[in-house]
Amino acid sequence: MFELNGRMAVVTGAGSGIGAAIARVFAARGAHVAVVDRDEPAARQVTDEIVAAGGPASAHRCDVSQPADVDALVAALAAAHPRIDILVNNAGIAHVGTVETTTPEDLDRLYRVNIVGVYACSRAVVPIMLRQGGGVILNMCSVAALVGIVDRFAYSMTKGAVLTMTRSIAADYVKRGIRCNCICPGRVHTPFVDGYLAKNYPGREQEMMKVLSEYQPIGRMGRPDEIAQLALYLCSDEASFITGVAYPIDGGVTAV
């Protein structure tokens, strides 16, 4: 079950965190993974780890906020591979702030990466999937699209858009062989969290880690590999009857 043998998977934001975990899991299940990140050395490091473990992968630099970058990447991938079976729109950035403290520049920066990035990648890949008879798109959303979270005004706005883009793509292509779903994680312990704590709470990292962990009723943050396993399921044939769905994986945040 959950094999991806011979499939081509494109994972954006795969240089670290959740994206890297998804790339590793997909490769371990037989997919050739295009490890995409705007940080090329990080993408190469993940690619080298996959190849060393016996999996097929290639590293690609791309800034998903720039549609021209995305179009060039997808054209190169299409020239090198007969198919693109899976697209995981994982690249994204965060922002802490209310509507009062969010500047127009903040809003535009998040819009370009979190919304335009999903649009540009999906727009470039969908025609290829249609020509080959189908494919799977998985968007990384957030629990912030489902519930109100303090100090996440701009971030929540962008993830709400990811949720509705997911449902729109699913509806538009349900009769044409393309499935589209999204995952809505709660807090996940990634390098971003460690950097956020070090920057904003120097000397209080452990204290604030406890606070962030206890936000989830289950008492801890998620792990990237846990998100990756759900991504594997949703992109596998075992999920062939699932489209247009937002899957919370949040330690109980949306349940209580």
Q: Annotated catalytic, 247?
A: no
pLDDT of residue 22: 98
Give the start-end residues of each E strand in 83-235: 86-89, 135-140, 178-185
Does pTM surpass 0.75? yes
Between β-strands 178-185 and 246-249, what pairing exists: parallel, antiparallel or unpaired?
parallel
Candidate list 111, 119, 155, 233, residue with the active-site label: 155
- The structural domains of the chain, ordered by start, are 8-186+223-247 (3.40.50.720), 189-221 (no CATH)
15-65 pLDDT per residue, tens: 999 999 999 999 999 999 999 999 999 999 999 999 999 999 999 999 999
Please compute the mean of the pLDDT values over residues 120-132 and round it to a whole number.
98
